[in-house]
Amino acid sequence: MARVRGLPADERPQDADPSSVTQQRGLDIGYVTTEQMIEVDRVMIEEFRISLVQMMENAGRNLAHLARSRFLNGDPRRRRIVVLAGTGGNGGGALVCARRLHCWGADVRVFITAEPAAFSPGAAHQLEIVERLGIPVARGGELGGADPELIIDGVIGYSLHGPPRDDAADVIRWANGHAAPVLSLDAPSGVDTTTGRALEPAVVATATMTLALPKTGLRAPGVEAYVGELYVADIGVPPSLYSQPALGLEIGPLFACDEIIRLS
């Protein structure tokens, strides 16, 4: 059973700046399965020529904006942040977030779950940028002395296949044992994005920023204990893509007023 993660009342950050995050107001927001989101990514890359790196940039930029407005009181300068990055697209987005927060003056440390050679091409590209900027990067096993004010979870997204293992499992357990709030990208690592089943271990997040459309698993009974506050962010998916036969969804210009929407 997950515990509900949060901050003590006297340390709890203010809600996100209304100019940065839009509350849901009668929006008709569809939910997608993992398989549907894989198809969205395929069409984006193969048919629309919108690259995975471009989507990572959009995801990481919005994650950094949400971290700043929701957890850092609008000013990340000198704030201690740990970014946990896996080897795939989720890790790549988290690395973009790390770079953004670093450029905004935060004290960022990155911990990765495997050697760089194991990273996917897009995530490896983002990791190289982070290293060239001089942001400290270490393996997850070196987390012991870290004492962040905020943890960014980018370990595993919709590519989850079985319980997290090895370094991925270790960093998830470390995050759950730390008092700092956790902001997860797309889904809490260890939670199945289609069924909502939380494998062992799974991140207990303070907030989750899912991408493009919320995943069906994020509304499953009981999963809110892992998801925390739920936001959805724009990564540049054209609304017309969703109406293609393989998806059959009718989604309007969801992000017309803001790139980040709070759902719960």
In this model, does residue 74 exceed pLDDT 70?
yes
Asked if residue 39 is part of any domain, the answer here is: no
- What's 74's domain CATH number? 3.40.50.10260
Number of domains, the chain: 1
pLDDT at 24: 53
pLDDT at 9: 38
Number of other CB atoms surrounding residue 173 within 10 Å: 15
Percentage with pLDDT > 90 across the chain: 83
User: For all residues of the chain together, what is the average pLDDT?
Assistant: 91
Q: What is the pLDDT of residues 3-14, one digit of tens each?
A: 445 444 344 444
pLDDT at 5: 52
pLDDT at 90: 96
Rounded CA-CA distance 26/12 in Å is 28
Contact 100/81 with Cβ under 8 angstroms?
Answer: no
In this model, does residue 48 exceed pLDDT 80?
yes
Asked if residue 59 is part of any domain, the answer here is: yes
In this model, does residue 27 exceed pLDDT 80?
no
Asked if residue 97 is part of any domain, the answer here is: yes
In this model, does residue 111 exceed pLDDT 60?
yes
Percentage with pLDDT > 70 across the chain: 89
Asked if residue 234 is part of any domain, the answer here is: yes
Q: What is the pLDDT of residues 224-236, one digit of tens each?
A: 999 999 999 999 9
In this model, does residue 65 exceed pLDDT 90?
yes
Rounded CA-CA distance 91/74 in Å is 24
In this model, does residue 16 exceed pLDDT 90?
no
SS3 string of the chain? Answer: CCCCCCCCCCCCCCCCCCCCCEECCCCCCCCECHHHHHHHHHHHHHCCCCCHHHHHHHHHHHHHHHHHHHHCCCCCCCCEEEEEECCCHHHHHHHHHHHHHHHCCCEEEEEECCCHHHCCHHHHHHHHHHHHCCCCEEEHHHHHHCCCCEEEEECCCCCCCCCCCHHHHHHHHHHHHCCCCEEEECCCCCECCCCCCECCCCCCCCEEEEECCCEHHHHCCCCHHHHCEEEEECCCCCHHHHHCCCCCCCCCCCCCCCCEEECC
Average pLDDT estimate for 181-208: 97
Asked if residue 249 is part of any domain, the answer here is: yes
Asked if residue 48 is part of any domain, the answer here is: no
Contact 232/199 with Cβ under 8 angstroms?
Answer: no
pLDDT at 29: 84
Asked if residue 146 is part of any domain, the answer here is: yes
In this model, does residue 20 exceed pLDDT 70?
no
Lowest mean pLDDT among 24-28, 78-82, 218-222, 237-241: 24-28
Asked if residue 42 is part of any domain, the answer here is: no
Range of the domain at 208: 53-262
